[in-house]
Amino acid sequence: MTDMKLSKMIKQANIEYHSSMASTYNTEQPHYRAENKSRVEKIISDLAEKTGGGSLLDIGCGTGFVIDIAKKYFDKVVGIDLTKAMLDEIKPAANVMTYISDSENMQFDDESFDVCTAYSFLHHLPDIEPTMHEVFRILRLGGYLYSDADPNWYCFSELEKTAIDKIDVSESLRTEVVSVHDVASALEEKYKISADTVSMAEFQTSAKGGIKSDWLEDFLRVIGFKSAAAHFTWFLGQGNIMHNISSELAIALDDYLKSMLPLSRNLYKYFKLIAQK
């Protein structure tokens, strides 16, 4: 477990990091590309159908990527985030409420939500376990947790230790390796924040090399979820193939690589997870 001093530093780094990008987040993040919005909307609409579409809590809601989708399918949508600048960017709606809140100690009653979402969020946490305990507490029996876009340890840890100056690699792999090695310095230049702040804000990635999806599945079952299933998403180079070659080819390659799991899990950058209480 992360000690309290380091935990506080990580949370403060996240506030600084996300405050710096709040005004441009919706136009610059890949979450907002049409193909990804369509993918996520399908998941959220399916969860609304399964639960009756009563209430949804989005933790680490940012500028409202999930909220903008969920408010069409749920009667009540609540978003929490530590960064006020991000919350200020959320479009107001009659069925949406937002709060500045830490996910480790949420001020909601037990069993008060049908669905809890955590999109591109878990890797920013000092520790994942306390938040997952809170999610379990606030979900109703039969409710769902949906997380997505967190770094796959099996891929990121390999990219981190790949030294492209010592081996002959393809340009495609070089691009992926550089994107991981140089992310902190690139964001330092772009958003005028220190590379140390970026690394601290991306703690589960920078310090731990990503998140092991199988560990998260097991942990959720241990704390009481009756099911938890992770699925790998976005193989290396998928975006380039989809946008510059053929979306049909990208789909075919994705299907093929998934048929080769678990051997191909190192090739997927992220994973999504759905668990039921």
Q: What is the pLDDT of residues 109-147, one digit of tens each?
A: 999 999 999 999 999 999 999 999 999 999 999 999 999
- Does the predicted model carry a pTM greater than 0.85? yes
- On whether residue 263 sits in a domain, the answer given is no
Is residue 139 assigned to a domain?
A: yes
Buried/exposed code over 107-127 (b: 16+ C-beta within 10 A; e: otherwise): ebeeebbbbbbbbbbbbbbbe
Sheet holding 76-81, edge to edge: 96-100, 76-81, 55-59, 113-119, 139-151, 268-276, 227-235
Domain assignment present for residue 163? The answer is no
Q: How far apart are CA 178 and CA 76, in angstroms?
A: 42
- Tell me how far CA of residue 24 lies from CA of 28, 85, 86, 191, 192, in angstroms: 6, 11, 10, 10, 14
Percent of the chain with pLDDT over 70: 97
- Average pLDDT of span 263-270: 96
Say what the pLDDT of residue 174 is. 81
Question: Mean per-residue pLDDT for 204-229?
Answer: 96
The verdict on residue 241 lying in a domain is no
Judge whether 225 lies within some domain. yes
Helix, strand, coil share (%) of the chain residues, nearest 5 = 50, 20, 30
76 found inside a domain: yes
Q: Structural domain of residue 232, as residue ranges?
A: 4-152+195-236+269-276
Which residue, among 256, 18, 234, 196, has the nearest Cα to 121 in the 3D structure? Answer: 18
In this structure, is residue 30 part of a structural domain? Answer: yes
Q: Report if residue 25 sits inside a domain.
A: yes
Cα Rg for the chain, rounded, in angstroms?
18
**111: three-class secondary structure by DSSP:** coil
Task: Please state the domain count of the chain.
Answer: 1
Please give the single-letter amino acid code of residue 272: K
Q: Return the CATH number at 121.
A: 3.40.50.150
